[in-house]
Chains A and B, each alone.
Chain A
Amino acid sequence: MLLLVVLAVLLVVFAPWLITRWVLIPLGLPRFAYYMATLADWTFLADRRGGAVLAGAWALCRRPAGDEALAGWLERKLLGVEKPGPEGEALQVAWLVARALMALRRGDLRRLRMLFEVQELSTGFETLRGAGIGAMGLLAAYRGDLAGARALLESLEHVDARACPRLAGEVALRWLAADAAARGAWSEVSALCAVGWRGGRDVALLGAVAARLLDAEGAPGDVGLWARWLLAPRRRATLALVQRALRPRLERGPQVEAPKVRGVVREGDRWGHAVALHAALLLRGEGGVNGEDLRRLGGAWDAVFEDEAARAEVEERARAIGASGAQAAIEGLRSSAVEDLVALVQAARIPHEQWDDLGEMLRRANRQLRSDLLAELELTVERLRRRVDEARALPAIDEWREWIALKGRYEQAAALVGMELRRLSFPRMNVEVCHLAVWLFNVRGQRALANAMFRWLLAEAEAVGDERAAARARDNLACGV
């Protein structure tokens, strides 16, 4: 008996993470998981508080949804929005002194200085690092905001390893893989599981299943698949999936058909024909449109707009109903159609090369898309500039969210329009993001976040060939996390 107690105490002292991971998290005990994980110094060396909250959030995911009190408690633990009472403050001071003494003993003066600087300067918010971001991601997922969770967990990839415990990356990867599978985005699953992150056994299984479903090269054979299934946890829940992946390819059904246009058009009616094609593409929406479809539609429109007879028909109709002429109506139609094309391209994320064409319609759409995207980016960056100029600080997590949203928008726009857009918008993006990052680093102590921004700026500067920006980003990166 005594031996057992001693063993338990030893386990708590020497392997707190094992207990957290294999007992407290599966039991769904966020508070215990949080406190136990605070002892797990080694596991979360790069981000202790964040790591503890991550453990808590992980445990929270095992509980039924809707416990906002617990979620809020964890969030406060991470972001420190909570104002400590007098005794809390005393505790904080004591804690600070203890940490300072420890740093002193280790002779880590830099850390000591930072400790005080950060405490003094950070505007009531705690510093946020990798595990903390991961924890916020899990909390968002727990609250039902899957898109938000996805964005946060994906963003861990950009956080420096020195600020992001490996475990946080692993958790993120596992969640992302499961989420992609839930959405049926199997190619995403396959890409995620191929990434060099250390995944879990369930990740290995999902990756294998995805590869099989996609008929990818190097997909494991039946035995390999079964082996992974046997190794992975929760075998009962994943059995059906494995069976689906094992099914012979011939048996597989066809793709889901998109809804069709339910209308008829008179033969020889060019306007009607183009409208019908247009409507058909719109109906297919995000998933079902490719560059070839766009070319066809652009061609159909061009054919009508260049057709004298078609124009004459509208002119005649204009006279009949008392309109001043066909020009305005046709131009209106054309610009609406261009607008729709642009929306389609954006929704379906069709890269520019795939629909580049010499047709007038597509050329217009391309110009419009380019200027829309540029204007949107400029606007966002301008707002960012104003906010930084006026020193309107957001909580660290919101700063991070804003940044990943901006980056996402930039990258999406770049994917649609190409290098030209990157060259045009990077200079401003560089200046304003740099301002933000410097502010985060110097004044607000959010070194991990700033570092991630510098890293991105460096990569992008190199990609667009802006040497000056690259050099500066390198200098800034060298300041560490």
Chain B
Amino acid sequence: MGRGDEALGRIRDNPFYVLGLRPAATRMEVEREGQKLLGMLELKLKSAGTYATPVGPGERTPDKVRRAMAELRDPEKRLGHELWARLTPDSGEEPERSGTRRVTALEAAELAEEAELEAMAAEAAAEARAREGENPLAPWPEALQALGWAAGRSAR
């Protein structure tokens, strides 16, 4: 399980996503954006606290931003990250900060002929949970209590 999370982390913590940039960003843009995000995080601005990725939002920390900047400064490493960041995060429902909107809007114009890969965000997790009651194979969480293997309430 730990390794699965790590694998997702590779995509989620991709420096480009952390910085809210696309692989085409210049070196100076990387520095500027990083510097700005570090400042925003220092000021504890909520808008800087999360970022969008194709595998769900990530939590942005100064540490991650610094590491992202360092990774992108090294051309060899940057090339690898560019490959992993091929997916443009679809941030339709994510509240966007004014700063990155400029970049993504620019990108959006460029990528006009983009095709959608899979029906995105069709099944929100909440919706799925609502239907869970109908799923015959859903767990029976109270089984242990019901069958006398645990008392109902905890004495904590």
Would A and B touch once assembled, by the CB under 8 A criterion?
A: yes
Instruction: List A residues at the B interface (Cβ < 8 Å).
Output: 28, 61-67, 141-142, 174-175, 178-179, 181-184, 186, 202, 206, 213-214, 233-234, 237-238, 241, 244-245, 247, 251-257, 259-267, 269, 271-273, 275-276, 278-280, 282-283, 285-286, 314, 317-318, 321-324, 326, 328-330, 332-333, 336, 339-340, 342-344, 346-347
Q: Can you name the residue of chain B whose Cβ is closest to the Cβ of A285?
A: B4
| Alpha-carbon separation in the docked complex, A422 to B115 (Å) | 47
- Most A CB atoms within 10 A — which of B89, B135, B147? B147
B55 contact set on A, CB distance < 8 A = 261-263, 279, 282-283
Would you call B56 an interface residue if the criterion is a C-beta within 8 Å of the partner chain's C-beta atoms? yes
**Structural contact, A266 and B114, CB atoms closer than 8 A:** yes
Q: Which residues 6-58 of B sit at the A interface, judged by CB distance below 8 A?
A: 6-8, 10-11, 52-56
**Structural contact, B125 and A259, CB atoms closer than 8 A:** yes
Of B60-68, B95-103, B148-156, the stretch lying at the interface with chain A is B148-156
Q: Can you name the residue of chain A whose Cβ is closest to the Cβ of B132?
A: A256
**Structural contact, A263 and B75, CB atoms closer than 8 A:** no
**Structural contact, B83 and A275, CB atoms closer than 8 A:** yes
Instruction: List B residues at the A interface (Cβ < 8 Å).
Output: 1, 3-4, 6-8, 10-11, 52-56, 75-76, 78-80, 82-84, 86-90, 92, 111, 113-123, 125, 128, 131-132, 134-151, 153-156
| Alpha-carbon separation in the docked complex, A465 to B65 (Å) | 56
26 contacts between A and B (CB under 8 A): A61-B150, A65-B154, A65-B156, A174-B147, A178-B149, A179-B143, A182-B139, A202-B147, A234-B146, A241-B140, A257-B122, A261-B117, A262-B54, A262-B56, A263-B53, A263-B117, A264-B87, A275-B87, A276-B54, A276-B87, A283-B55, A318-B75, A323-B76, A330-B83, A332-B80, A333-B80
B154 contact set on A, CB distance < 8 A = 64-66
CB distance from A170 to the nearest CB of B (A): 13
A279 contact set on B, CB distance < 8 A = 8, 11, 54-55, 87
| Alpha-carbon separation in the docked complex, A182 to B149 (Å) | 11
Known: A262-B92, A343-B7. 6 other contacts (CB 8 A): A61-B151, A66-B154, A255-B135, A265-B114, A279-B87, A285-B4
CB distance from A205 to the nearest CB of B (A): 9
**Structural contact, B54 and A261, CB atoms closer than 8 A:** yes
9 A-B pairs closest in CB distance: A263-B54, A184-B139, A253-B134, A272-B86, A263-B87, A343-B3, A237-B146, A64-B155, A182-B143
B7 contact set on A, CB distance < 8 A = 282, 339-340, 343-344
**Structural contact, A178 and B79, CB atoms closer than 8 A:** no
**Structural contact, B121 and A262, CB atoms closer than 8 A:** yes
**Structural contact, B150 and A260, CB atoms closer than 8 A:** no
**Structural contact, B8 and A283, CB atoms closer than 8 A:** yes
**Structural contact, A263 and B89, CB atoms closer than 8 A:** yes
**Structural contact, A264 and B86, CB atoms closer than 8 A:** no
Q: Can you name the residue of chain B whose Cβ is closest to the Cβ of A310?
A: B83
A254 contact set on B, CB distance < 8 A = 131, 135
| Alpha-carbon separation in the docked complex, A429 to B113 (Å) | 58
A186 contact set on B, CB distance < 8 A = 137
